[in-house]
Chains A and B, each alone.
Chain A
Amino acid sequence: MAEFGATTQPRPKRVDELIDSELMAKLDQVDIMSRKIFAGKLQGERRSKKRGVSVEFADYRHYVHGDDLRFVDWNIYARLDKLFLKIFLEEEDLALLIAIDISASMDWGNPNKLVFSQKLAMSLGYIGLSNHNRVSLFAFNQAGVRPLVNLRGRRRTREMGTWLLDLAGGDRSGFNEAMRHIALSRQGKGVMVILSDFLFKESYEKGLRYLAGGGFDTFCLQVLSPEEIDPGRHGLAGDLRLTDVEDDDTAEITVSAALLRKYRENLNAYCGRLRDFCIRRDVMHVSVTTSDDIGALLLDYLRKRGLLK
C-alpha cells in the first residue's frame, strides 16, 4: 500500500499530457465569462466599457471639435444640417489571470494537487487563448511570483504549457504577499482564477482583500486531494507524527473515529469560513477535488458556477 498522500501518478512531461486534443476540442466551445465588464487594452471580442469601432451601433451625440470625422453621420447632416456623431460599442479583449499556488503543500496528494492545478490552469489558459483573451499566469510561493503575462492567441498555447511544466512545488505559499504583488502589477483588470488549497497557516483574508479591492472578478478554486477530504478512508491510521511539508511543523495524533470526525468538522468549518469570506467580497469560491475529471469539471461544473460559458 502506498504511503498516505504520496503521489503515485507520473508527473506530466509534455504539454499534451497537460491537455489532450480531445479536451481541447471540447474546450473550443466555451469561453471565459466575466460578471463584470472590464476595460481591455487591445481590440478584442468582448464588449468594452468604451465606445469604439465595432459594428454594433450604440448611440448618437453632438459633434464637438476634434472628433474624428470618419464617424460623422452624413445622412443626418444632409437631413438636419447638423453634425452628429455615430457611437459604436467598443469590443475589447478580456484579461484572464491565473494564479497557481506552487507551495510545497500543493505538491502533495494522490492525484497530486499541483499537477491537477497545472492541468486546470492549462485548460483555462487554453480557453482564454482560443477566445483571444489576454492570459496571464502567475505561479507564487514564499519565494516570489513567477509571471507569464499577456499571452494572446492560440499559438501561445505551447509556450504556456511549457511554462506550466516548468513549475515545481516547494516552500510556503506566501499567499498574501503574492496577491498584493499581482494586484499591484497592473496586468489589467479581468477574471482572476486562483488555484490553491488555501491551507495557509497565515490567513488568506488579506490577500483576497487585495484582489477584491483591485477590481478583479475573482474565482477561488480550492483544490483539495481526496486524502485531505477523507483521510480515514485513504489509509490514515495508527499513532502518527504528522509533519507539515511546508514548515516541518509536527502534530502527534492517534487516529480515532472521534479524531477523524473532528477533522472533517474542522475542514468543513474552514472551507465554510473561506466561502463566507469570498461571498461577502463578491468572490466566487469553488471547491474541487483532484480526483475530479477536468473535462467534466470545466464543461459542467465551472459552467454552472459562472466561470465559463
Chain B
Amino acid sequence: MSWLAVPAGLILAAVVIPPLILLYFLKLRRRTQTIASTLLWKRSVEDLRANTPFQRLRRSLLLFLQLLALVLLVLAIMQPQVQSSGRQGGKTIFLIDTSASMTATDVTDAPTRLEEAKRRARERVEALYGRGLFGGSWGETMVVSFSDRAQVACRFTDSKPQLLAAIDRIQPTHGESRIGEALTLARAYTTQLDPESNRPVGEPGTLELFSDGRIADLAEQVLRGERMVYHPIGSQEPDNVAITAISIERPYDRPAAVEVFASLANFNTTPLTVDVQLSVNDAARAIREVTIDAAGEDPVSGLIVPARRNVVFTPFEQPRAAVIEVAVLRDDDLAADSAARLVVPPPRRLKVALVGSKSFVMETVLTGIGSIQRLTLLSQQQYLAKVAEGAVDRFDVVVFDNYAPPPDQMPPGRYLCFGAPPPIEGLNAFGEGEGQLILDTRHEHPLFKFVDLDRLFISRFTLLQPDDDVQVLAEGSRGPVVVEVARGPMQVIYVTFDPLDSNWPFLRSFVTFLVNAVEYLGHAGEAISASSFTPGEALTTRLPPAAAAVELHLPDGVMERLEPIDPALLSWGPIRLTGVYFLRWSVQQTSEPQERVFAVNLLSDREGDLRPAEQIMAGEDVHVAGRGGSEYTSLWPWAIGLCLIVLMLEWWVYHRKAYI
C-alpha cells in the first residue's frame, strides 16, 4: 500500500484528534447526582467491571467510534492505494493485438486468443467502470487495435457501453504485430503540449497491452513515462507448423511447367511428420510426407528457433493461370500460416528488338531463346523512327548491340546494351581500356544464374566510373564490366564491351547470360508467379479505364464493391486476412466479367512462434497484469464509506445511550 498525501493527513490528524480527546475529557467531568443510596449502584458498577474485561474501552465506545471515524477521514485524505487489478483515474489506453498469432486457438476460455483478449479487455472495462466510484477509476479509456497497422477502435471516453461495443467490433487480422504505430497514436491522443514551453503536460496515460507479446518492433520502443500493463494471452504449449516461404518457378527450359518450393517451420519442441499438400485451383495434385525436427531455443533471447524443412514438388505442366496452394494437413493452433498460396500467371512470351546488330552471333542466340515470341531487328534509323512514334514500349526488351542512341532517344523501357555506353547519367564513361579478366561477379543475381565468367578475357572495353546508384554486377581487373541501372520505369543492363572483342561468344556462359538477361529484363517487376501480398499491405493493381462494377471477394466470403477513384489504378487495403482475393469487374463493351486473383500469405516466423512472452520489455520493465499485481486502486472512497458507517453506528449508539 502506498500513500499519496501523508503530510496533509498528518496535519489534519494533529488538528482534529487532540481536540476530540480534549472534548471527551471535558465531557467526562461528571455531573453530580444525589441519590437515595449508592449501595446498589456501587455493587452494579463493580459487577460490570468484573464481568467486562474491556470495560475501559467499552465505556468510551463513543470516543472510540468518533476517533475511528476521524482516523478513517484522515486515511482518506492521505489517499491510500493498493496494488491491485484496479486503476486510479487518468487516461488508459487498451492496446489489443489483432495480429495473426492472436487468431491461435490455444486458449481454453474463448475460441481464439483475440476473443480471449477481448474478453479480458471487457473484464477490465467492467472493473474500471462497472463499480462506479468504488471501482477506483474515474478516468477515460481509449481502445486501439493493432497488428501491422494501428486503428483507433474507440476514442477516449468513460462510457462503458461505448467501450464494450468498440471492443466487440475489433476484427482479427493476419498481419504481423507492430506496436510502434499504436504507441504513436496513443501518445498523440494522450500528450498535450504546453503551447508556451512546447513540452508535454499532464500525466502520461497507462497502456494496457492485451497481446501474446510476440511483437516485432518491441525492441525499438521506449516508454516515455507511460506505464504499461501487459496482459499475456495464450498457452505456454502451443502447437504450430507454419509455411514460412513459398516460391514458384518455371524451369527455363520448360516455360509451361511450374516448380513449387515451400519452406516449412516446426515451432513445436517435438519432431513431427506432416503431410504437405499441393493443390492447383483447389484440386489436390500431390501430397508429400515431411518429417521436421524439433524446434530449438535460442539460449540468449529465449525465443524459439524453429526447425526448417524445404519441400520441392516435382515440376508439372501448368500452361494456364492458376492458384497454387501448399498446405500443411494438420490441425494446429494457428490456421493462418498453415497454408500459402501463389497465383501463377500464364507464361509470358517476350517481344524483343535488336538494334544495330552487325554480328550474327547475337541474332542467332536471341532467335534460339524459347521464351522470345518475336525478335525484331531494327536499324539505327528504324529505332529512332520508333522512338519518334512512341512505339518503343511495345517491346519488352530492347537490345543495343554496340549502339549508343543519341541522348533523349532512350524512352523509359528495358534495355540490354553491349559495347558503346548508353547515354545514361551516372555511368561516367571515360575512354577505352584494353585487356582485362573478370575478378568478381554477383552470383546470387538472376543474371548470373548458371553463368561462369572465369574464363572470359576481354580485349577492349569502355572504362566506367559509375555513380553510387549504379549497381556493379561484375567487376573486372580494370573496372566494372556489367552494371545495372534501375531508375523507375527505366531499367538498363550495360555490358561494357562488345562480345566480339572478347572470347565470350565461344563460351557457354554467353548464351546463358543472354537468356538470363532477356528473361530478367522482360519479366522485371513481375515474378514468374504473380506477386503475393502480405497482410497489412494495400492491394494495388491497374484496371482497364472502362472497368465498372468492381467487386472484391475476400477470403472470408465477404464481397466489397469498390469505387476506384482513379479508374486506372485501384488500391484497397490494408489487407486483413490471408487467402485468395478475387477482383472482378466488367467492361462495358464486353458483358463477360473479368477476374484477377491475388494471394495473400502470412509467411512470418515471428507470428508463427505462438508461445506468449511471459514478460516484455519496452525500454523498461512492463508490469504483467495478474502476476503480483501492478495497478493501483484508490482506497479513499472505501475509507469515506467506512467513515459514514461508523458515524451512523456512533449515532445509533449515542441514541441507545448504550456505550457498550
Residues of B within 8 A of A245 (CB): 34-37
Q: Which of B33, B36, B38, B659 lies in contact with A254, CB distance below 8 A?
A: B659
Q: Which of A113, A249, A256, A266 lies in contact with B40, CB distance below 8 A?
A: A266
CB distance from A129 to the nearest CB of B (A): 31
Is the CB–CB distance between A258 and B52 below 8 Å? yes
B30 within 8 A of A: yes
Residues of B within 8 A of A225 (CB): 36
0 or 1 for each of A244-272: is its CB under 8 Å from B? (1 = yes)? 11100111111111110011011100100
With A250-B38, A251-B38 as contacts: A259 and B33 at CB distance below 8 Å: no
Size bin of chain A's contact surface:
35 or more
Subset of 24 A-B contacts with CB under 8 Å: A4-B35, A5-B35, A105-B37, A108-B36, A199-B40, A201-B37, A225-B36, A240-B30, A240-B31, A241-B30, A244-B35, A244-B38, A245-B34, A246-B37, A250-B38, A251-B41, A254-B659, A256-B659, A257-B657, A257-B660, A265-B47, A266-B43, A266-B44, A270-B40
A237 within 8 A of B: yes
| Chain B positions near chain A (C-beta within 8 angstroms) | 27-28, 30-45, 47-48, 52, 59, 656-660
Residues of B within 8 A of A262 (CB): 44, 47-48
Q: Which of B31, B37, B52 lies in contact with A238, CB distance below 8 A?
A: B31
With A105-B36, A254-B59 as contacts: A263 and B31 at CB distance below 8 Å: no
Q: Which of B34, B47, B59, B660 lies in contact with A243, CB distance below 8 A?
A: B34
Q: Which of A6, A237, A263 lies in contact with B41, CB distance below 8 A?
A: A263
CA distance A155 to B328 in the complex (A): 134
Best-buried of B32, B36, B659, B660 by chain A (most CB within 10 Å): B36
With A251-B41, A254-B59, A259-B44 as contacts: A243 and B36 at CB distance below 8 Å: no
Is the CB–CB distance between B37 and A4 below 8 Å? no
CA distance A113 to B35 in the complex (A): 13
- Return the 5 tightest CB-CB contacts between A and B, nearest first: A199-B37, A257-B658, A105-B36, A241-B30, A262-B44
Residues of A within 8 A of B45 (CB): 251-253, 259
A308 within 8 A of B: no
CA distance A240 to B59 in the complex (A): 13
Query: Which residue from chain B places its CB closest to the CB of A239 in the assembled complex?
Result: B30
Main secondary structure of the interface of A (DSSP, over half): mixed
Is the CB–CB distance between B34 and A5 below 8 Å? yes
Query: Which residues of A from 174 to 228 have beta carbons under 8 Å from B?
Result: 197, 199-201, 225, 228
Residues of B within 8 A of A253 (CB): 41, 44-45
CB distance from B474 to the nearest CB of A (A): 109
CA distance A268 to B85 in the complex (A): 60
CB distance from B117 to the nearest CB of A (A): 59
Residues of B within 8 A of A108 (CB): 34-36
Residues of A within 8 A of B43 (CB): 266
Residues of A within 8 A of B44 (CB): 253, 259, 262-263, 265-266
CB distance from B237 to the nearest CB of A (A): 65
CA distance A258 to B61 in the complex (A): 13
Residues of B within 8 A of A266 (CB): 40, 43-44, 47
Not counting A197-B36, A254-B59, a sample of 4 additional A-B residue pairs whose C-beta atoms are within 8 angstroms of each other reads: A5-B33, A242-B41, A243-B33, A252-B45
CA distance A5 to B33 in the complex (A): 9
Is the CB–CB distance between B40 and A267 below 8 Å? yes
CB distance from B360 to the nearest CB of A (A): 128
A236 within 8 A of B: yes
Residues of B within 8 A of A111 (CB): none
Is the CB–CB distance between A252 and B30 below 8 Å? yes
CB distance from B253 to the nearest CB of A (A): 110
Residues of A within 8 A of B34 (CB): 3, 5-6, 108, 242-243, 245
A125 within 8 A of B: no
Is the CB–CB distance between B30 and A258 below 8 Å? no
Residues of A within 8 A of B27 (CB): 239
Residues of A within 8 A of B656 (CB): 257
**Number of A-B pairs whose CB atoms are under 8 Å?**
109
Residues of A within 8 A of B659 (CB): 254, 256
Residues of B within 8 A of A243 (CB): 32-35, 38
Is the CB–CB distance between B39 and A201 below 8 Å? yes
With A245-B34, A251-B41 as contacts: A237 and B48 at CB distance below 8 Å: no
With A255-B657, A256-B659 as contacts: A242 and B38 at CB distance below 8 Å: yes
Is the CB–CB distance between B47 and A240 below 8 Å? no
CA distance A237 to B658 in the complex (A): 10
CA distance A266 to B39 in the complex (A): 10
CA distance A164 to B30 in the complex (A): 38
With A259-B45, A263-B41, A266-B47 as contacts: A242 and B35 at CB distance below 8 Å: yes
Best-buried of B27, B41, B47, B52 by chain A (most CB within 10 Å): B41
Residues of B within 8 A of A265 (CB): 44, 47
CA distance A240 to B38 in the complex (A): 12
Query: Which residue from chain A places its CB closest to the CB of B45 in the assembled complex?
Result: A253
CA distance A244 to B30 in the complex (A): 15
Residues of A within 8 A of B39 (CB): 199-201, 244, 270
A128 within 8 A of B: no
CB distance from B654 to the nearest CB of A (A): 11
CA distance A249 to B660 in the complex (A): 26
Query: Which residues of A from 1 to 16 have beta carbons under 8 Å from B?
Result: 3-6
CB distance from A87 to the nearest CB of B (A): 54
CA distance A240 to B39 in the complex (A): 15
CA distance A241 to B40 in the complex (A): 14
CA distance A270 to B37 in the complex (A): 13
CA distance A240 to B36 in the complex (A): 14
A40 within 8 A of B: no
Is the CB–CB distance between B33 and A241 below 8 Å? yes
Is the CB–CB distance between B28 and A239 below 8 Å? yes
CA distance A246 to B28 in the complex (A): 25
CA distance A244 to B48 in the complex (A): 20
CA distance A109 to B37 in the complex (A): 11
0 or 1 for each of A12-39: is its CB under 8 Å from B? (1 = yes)? 0000000000000000000000000000
Is the CB–CB distance between A199 and B36 below 8 Å? yes
CA distance A5 to B35 in the complex (A): 7
With A253-B45, A258-B48, A263-B44 as contacts: A237 and B657 at CB distance below 8 Å: yes
CA distance A228 to B38 in the complex (A): 11
Residues of B within 8 A of A254 (CB): 59, 659
Query: Which residue from chain A places its CB closest to the CB of B43 in the assembled complex?
Result: A266
Best-buried of A108, A239, A255 by chain B (most CB within 10 Å): A239
With A105-B37, A108-B36, A228-B36 as contacts: A256 and B657 at CB distance below 8 Å: yes
CA distance A252 to B52 in the complex (A): 17
With A241-B31, A251-B45 as contacts: A256 and B658 at CB distance below 8 Å: yes
CB distance from A216 to the nearest CB of B (A): 26
Is the CB–CB distance between B59 and A113 below 8 Å? no
With A254-B659, A257-B658, A266-B47 as contacts: A197 and B37 at CB distance below 8 Å: yes
CB distance from B7 to the nearest CB of A (A): 36
CA distance A236 to B30 in the complex (A): 13
Residues of B within 8 A of A246 (CB): 37
CA distance A262 to B30 in the complex (A): 21
Query: Which residue from chain B places its CB closest to the CB of A104 in the assembled complex?
Result: B36
Is the CB–CB distance between A258 and B658 below 8 Å? yes
Residues of A within 8 A of B660 (CB): 256-258
Query: Which residue from chain A places its CB closest to the CB of B60 in the assembled complex?
Result: A254
Query: Which residue from chain A places its CB closest to the CB of B29 in the assembled complex?
Result: A239
CA distance A237 to B40 in the complex (A): 16
CA distance A238 to B30 in the complex (A): 8
CA distance A6 to B659 in the complex (A): 26
CA distance A199 to B40 in the complex (A): 9
